[in-house]
C-alpha cells in the first residue's frame, strides 16, 4: 500500500500522496480489524440455562404516537413471568403517554408505571427518569430500551446468558426501519457505529454500548454509585457505561446476535437528525482514550481525502478510495446479513455522501455546541 505515484520533483505532491496513502492504509487495517472483531464476538462467553431476575426499564417522554408498539413488544417477551418485571417511567410527559402506560399496565400485571421525580443536581432529563425506574426495580440484570423501540420476544432470553461472572455490560444492535434513502443512510450509520463498539468488545477492548439496547448487571451499576454519582451527560447511557469501564473490572460483551436486535425509527427530518448527532458528539467527549483513537483514524483518513485530492494522481486517488469503500461495504455487510437486512446495502452510496461531512464536522459541532435540545428540553453542555 505504500507504493505511490507522483509527478517528479514536486515535494508537495509527494508529501500529500504519502500522507493520504498512510492514512488510507491505517484506515483499511482498522476496517479489517473491525470486521474480524465482529466475528470474534460470535465466540462470546455464555452461561447456558442462566435465568437471573430481570428488570426491563424504559423511560418515556411525550411518546404517545409510538409507545403502544413498544409496550406490546415488551408484553410478548419470552421469559419466566416470576423472574421479569417491566417498569415504564413516565418522564413528566405533557401528552397522553402516562395515560397509555397506565391503561396498558391494567391489562398486563407485569408492566408497572412509575413517575419520575423533579430533577435535582446531576439528575436531569432522562438520567433522572431512569434512576427512578432502577430504584423501583429488583432485578439482578437491568435491561434498557427506548419508548420508540420494539424488542423481539427473544430479547431477554437471548441476552442474559452472556452475563458470565466477569461480564458487567452486554450491548446489542439496533436496526432502524429504512424504506427511503434518508432513513437508509441513518440505518447504515447506526450499524457502522454500533459495529465499532461490538468489534472492540470482541477484541476485549470495550469502548461503549448503546442505550436503547443495553443490559447491565446491578452490581456493576451499584459499584459506580449509579446515576446519583455519575456526572450529568446528554447521553446518560453512554456516561454510565464509561463510568463502569473506568471504575470496575467488569467486561463488556457485544455479540452480533440477530435474536437480540431492537427495532427503532429513523429521524424524519434534517433538524431532528442534527439534534441527535449534536447530542451524540457532545456526549462522546467523555469517551475513553482507546475509543477516541479508533474514531480518530477514520477522521484523519477523511480529512486527507478532502485535503489531498488536488495533489494526488487522479487515477491512483480513485483506486485507493474505491478500495476503502469496498472494505467499508464488507464491514457493513456482515451484521446486515446476520440480521436479514442485506438489501439495505442499496443505501450505501447515499450513506457515503452523508458520512463524509458528518465525520469531518463532528469535532466542530462538539466545540461550538452550547445548548442541547432533546425531547423539548434544553441542556447546557457541561465543561470541565
Cell of 52: 437471573
**Predicted pLDDT of residue 139:** 95
Q: What is the pLDDT of residue 127?
A: 83
DSSP tag of 381: P
pLDDT in tens, 310-340: 888 889 999 999 999 999 999 999 999 999 9
Q: Which residue has the cell 426499564?
A: 57
Half-sphere exposure of 362 (CA within 13 A, CB side): 24
Residue 109: per-residue pLDDT = 84
The pLDDT value given to residue 381: 53
Query: pLDDT tens, 189-205?
Result: 999 999 999 999 999 88
Measured between alpha carbons, how far is residue 182 from residues 66, 185, 187, 194 in Å? 20, 6, 9, 19
Q: pLDDT confidence of 372, banded at 50, 70, 90? A: low
Q: What is the mean pLDDT of the chain?
A: 88
Whether 72 shows a pLDDT value over 60: the answer reads yes
Please count the helices (runs of H) and the strands (runs of E) in the chain: 12, 11
Q: Is the pLDDT of residue 243 over 50?
A: yes
Kindly state the cell numbers that stand for 79: 421469559
pTM: 0.88
Structure-block grid coordinates of residue 198: 461490538
Tell me the pLDDT tens digit for each residue of 280-309. Answer: 887 666 666 777 888 899 999 999 999 998
- pLDDT > 70: percent of the chain: 90
In the chain, residues under CATH classification 3.90.550.10 are: 58-160
Query: For 25-45, what is the mean pLDDT?
Result: 89
Distance of CA 87 to the CA centre of its chain: 22
Q: Is the pLDDT of residue 375 over 80?
A: no
Instruction: Tell me what pLDDT residue 379 has.
Output: 53
CATH topology of domain 58-160: Spore Coat Polysaccharide Biosynthesis Protein SpsA; Chain A (3.90.550)
Phi, psi of 175 (to 5 degrees): -115, 120
Pairing mode, strands 251-253 and 371-374: unpaired
**7 has pLDDT over 60:** no
362 band by pLDDT with thresholds 50, 70 and 90: confident
Q: Which residues are within 8 A (CB) of 315 and not within 5 positions of it... i.e. 6 or more apart?
A: 5
Strand partners, 56: 86, 143
- Spatial distance between the Cα atoms of 88 and 252, rounded to a whole number of angstroms: 25
Amino acid at each position: 500500500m505504500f507504493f505511490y505515484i507522483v509527478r517528479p520533483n514536486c515535494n508537495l505532491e509527494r508529501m500529500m500522496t504519502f500522507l493520504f496513502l498512510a492514512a488510507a492504509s491505517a484506515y483499511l487495517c482498522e476496517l479489517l480489524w473491525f470486521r474480524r472483531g465482529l466475528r470474534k464476538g460470535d465466540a462470546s462467553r455464555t452461561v447456558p440455562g442462566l435465568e437471573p431476575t430481570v428488570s426491563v426499564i424504559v423511560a418515556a417522554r411525550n411518546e404517545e404516537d409510538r409507545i403502544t408498539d413498544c409496550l406490546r413488544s415488551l408484553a410478548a417477551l419470552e421469559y419466566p413471568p416470576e423472574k421479569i418485571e417491566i417498569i415504564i417511567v413516565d418522564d413528566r410527559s405533557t401528552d397522553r403517554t402516562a395515560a397509555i402506560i397506565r391503561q396498558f399496565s391494567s391489562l398486563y400485571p407485569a408492566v408497572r408505571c412509575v413517575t419520575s421525580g423533579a430533577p435535582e443536581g446531576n439528575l436531569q432529563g432522562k438520567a433522572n427518569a431512569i434512576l427512578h425506574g432502577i430504584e423501583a426495580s429488583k432485578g439482578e440484570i437491568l435491561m434498557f430500551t427506548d419508548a420508540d423501540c420494539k424488542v423481539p420476544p427473544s430479547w431477554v432470553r437471548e441476552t442474559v446468558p452472556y452475563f458470565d461472572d466477569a461480564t458487567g455490560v452486554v450491548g446489542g444492535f439496533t436496526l432502524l426501519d429504512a424504506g427511503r434513502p434518508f432513513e437508509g443512510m441513518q440505518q447504515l450509520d447506526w450499524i457502522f457505529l454500533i459495529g465499532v463498539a461490538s468489534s472492540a468488545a470482541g477484541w476485549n477492548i470495550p469502548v461503549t454500548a448503546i442505550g436503547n439496547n443495553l443490559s447491565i448487571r446491578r452490581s456493576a451499576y451499584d459499584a459506580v454509585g449509579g446515576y446519583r454519582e455519575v456526572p450529568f451527560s446528554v447521553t446518560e447511557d453512554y456516561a454510565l457505561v464509561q463510568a463502569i469501564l473506568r471504575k470496575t473490572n467488569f467486561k463488556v460483551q457485544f455479540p452480533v446476535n440477530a435474536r437480540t436486535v431492537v427495532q427503532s425509527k429513523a429521524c424524519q427530518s434534517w433538524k431532528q437528525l442534527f439534534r441527535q448527532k449534536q447530542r451524540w458528539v457532545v456526549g462522546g467527549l467523555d469517551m475513553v482514550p482507546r475509543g477516541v483513537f479508533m474514531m480518530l483514524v477514520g477522521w484523519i483518513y477523511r480529512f486527507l481525502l478532502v485535503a489531498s485530492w488536488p495533489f494526488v494522481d487522479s487515477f491512483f486517488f480513485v483506486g485507493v478510495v474505491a478500495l476503502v469503500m469496498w472494505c467499508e461495504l464488507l464491514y457493513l455487510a456482515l451484521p446486515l446479513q446476520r440480521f436479514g437486512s442485506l438489501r439495505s446495502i442499496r443505501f450505501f452510496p447515499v450513506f457515503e455522501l452523508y458520512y463524509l461531512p458528518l465525520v469531518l464536522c463532528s469535532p466542530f459541532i462538539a466545540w461550538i455546541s452550547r445548548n442541547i435540545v432533546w425531547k423539548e428540553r434544553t441542556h447546557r453542555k457541561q465543561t470541565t
